[in-house]
Structure formats: structure tokens, C-alpha cells
Amino acid sequence: MGYHIALRLHQDGYQVIAHYRTHTDEIQALSDLGIKTIQAELSSTETILAFIEQLKTCCHNFRALIHNASSFSRTLDNVEEAAKQYEQFFYVHMMAPFLINQSLQNNLVGDSNEAADIIHITDINVENPTARFDIYGTTKAGLHNLMLAQAKKFAPNIKVNAIAPGPVLFTEMHSQAVKQKMLDETLLAKEGGAEPVYLAIKSLLDNPFMTGVSIPVDGGRRLSKS
């Protein structure tokens, strides 16, 4: 989804800086288009602060920050392994967005005296959690609450909003049976893809009077998910 968002922002005329952890063909494709890419592991205070310094070095003003990086897996059974998993998910879903937003708030500048944007990509799990993904869900809920708090904190210069996707992209960890269950539970009965998430991002960037809101992009699944 990060690749699609970066590509579509570039196509719509934004100067994009794309963060990645693992270099992939998609990252190479973005570089080939002239998009600046920065590698960073968002797994400790030190690596996150070093990433922020890199951002400040390459650009003084930012129109928007979009927090899309995420770890997704079922909560591990072994409690010591689950503790490590909680720490990893906390860093990528909560600490990194907090430190990046806090550090770059004075570098965020909107167009023509309008507010700039921070957008958190959360999940419909925030509203209706899946029990076996409770580490993922609770840290994403933290990302949602950070959006609400920082909408208050950074007003009126920065709008802070969230987009809560449902299962818009299936992954290799989804079996055929799981995919079918998800489709059965999605009112619009299809895999939405990344473009509807991009359209929600664009609508927030274009709207000068929305802050502190979460937009579900889930084909209606939050209403029927068990």
C-alpha cells in the first residue's frame, strides 16, 4: 500500500519522500521515478530519531506526513516472545509516529495559509478488535488515540486524521478459506485494493475543515465483522 500511495501522490504532483525498511523492486521503481527514498528501521528511539534527522536534512518544509508502516501478525503464544512482539509493534505503531510528529510539527506547512496534514493509517480493528490479534489491535488503537490527542495539540496549524482500512489487500498469510470469510463479511463483497485508501488520503489533503476524524475504508466490513 505504501508503494501505491507514494506513486499516486507523485502522479498527482506532490514531491514525495518515501520511507522503507527493506529495499524491494517497488522501492527501486519509486527511485527510478525520481522519488527520494530513505531506509530506516523504526524499532528503537535511536533509529527513529536518526531517521528524523535524515528527514530534516533533506527537506525543511513538509506538506503532509503519512504513517503507513506497520507490523501485522497474530499475538504469539509464548509470553516472553509476546512481550518482544508488543515492544516491536509499540515502536512502529506508536513511538515512531509520536516522535516524528512531535519533532516535525514546526516543519509542517500547508498550502495558501491552510493547515498542513498528518494522516495515521490505522485499522477497523481499532473499533472492533480481533482477539487473537490483540497486540496489533491495541497498538493501532494507540495510533488512533494519538491522532485524537495531536489533532487538539497541533490545531490550528496541522490537521491530524486517520484512515482505518479493512482488509483491502489480501496477503500470502490469508488462506483461501480466510479470504472467502472476509469477502462474505464485507458488505461490498470485494477486495478493495490500495486505490480507495489513496482516495481517502487525497480527500483529507484537499479538505481544509476536517481534523480529529477516522475514515473507515473497508467496504462496510466493520458493520458485519465477527
Among 54, 71, 128, 130, binds ligand NAP (CB under 6 A): 71
What character string, x for contact with ligand NAP (CB under 6 A) and - otherwise, covers 76-95? ----------------x---
What character string, x for contact with ligand NAP (CB under 6 A) and - otherwise, covers 23-62? ------------------xxx-------------------
Per-residue HEC secondary structure of the chain comes to CHHHHHHHHHHCCCCCEEEECCCCHHHHHHHHCCCEEEECCCCCHHHHHHHHHHHHHHCCCECEEEECCCCCCCCCCCHHHHHHHHHHHHHHHHHHHHHHHHHHHHHECCCCCCCEEEEEECCHHHCCCCHHHHHHHHHHHHHHHHHHHHHHHHCCCEEEEEEEECCCCCCCCCCHHHHHHHHHCCCCCCCCCCHHHHHHHHHHHHCCCCCCCEEEECCCHHHHCC
Task: Yes or no: say if 92 and 121 are a contact pair by the CB < 8 Å rule.
Answer: no
Annotated active-site residue 136? The verdict is yes
What character string, x for contact with ligand NAP (CB under 6 A) and - otherwise, covers 195-214? --------------------
Among 94, 95, 121, 135, binds ligand NAP (CB under 6 A): 121
CB of 165 to ligand NAP, least distance (A): 4
Roughly what angle, to the nearest 10 degrees, separates helices 96-104 and 45-58? 40
Among 35, 68, 116, 204, binds ligand NAP (CB under 6 A): 68
Q: Which is nearer to ligand NAP, 83 or 155 (CB)?
A: 83
The stretch among 8-16, 66-74, 110-118, 207-215 that binds ligand NAP (CB under 6 A) is: 66-74
Residue 172 interacting with ligand NAP (CB under 6 A): no
Three cell numbers written together for 216: 473507515
Q: Which is nearer to ligand NAP, 45 or 61 (CB)?
A: 45
The stretch among 28-36, 69-77, 78-86, 151-159 that binds ligand NAP (CB under 6 A) is: 69-77
Roughly what angle, to the nearest 10 degrees, separates helices 79-90 and 134-154? 30
Among 70, 85, 101, 161, binds ligand NAP (CB under 6 A): 70
Task: Yes or no: say if 215 and 204 are a contact pair by the CB < 8 Å rule.
Answer: yes
CB of 50 to ligand NAP, least distance (A): 12
Catalytic sites, residue numbers? 136
Q: Binding residues for ligand NAP, per CB under 6 A?
A: 1-2, 20-22, 41-43, 68-72, 92, 121, 123, 165, 167-169
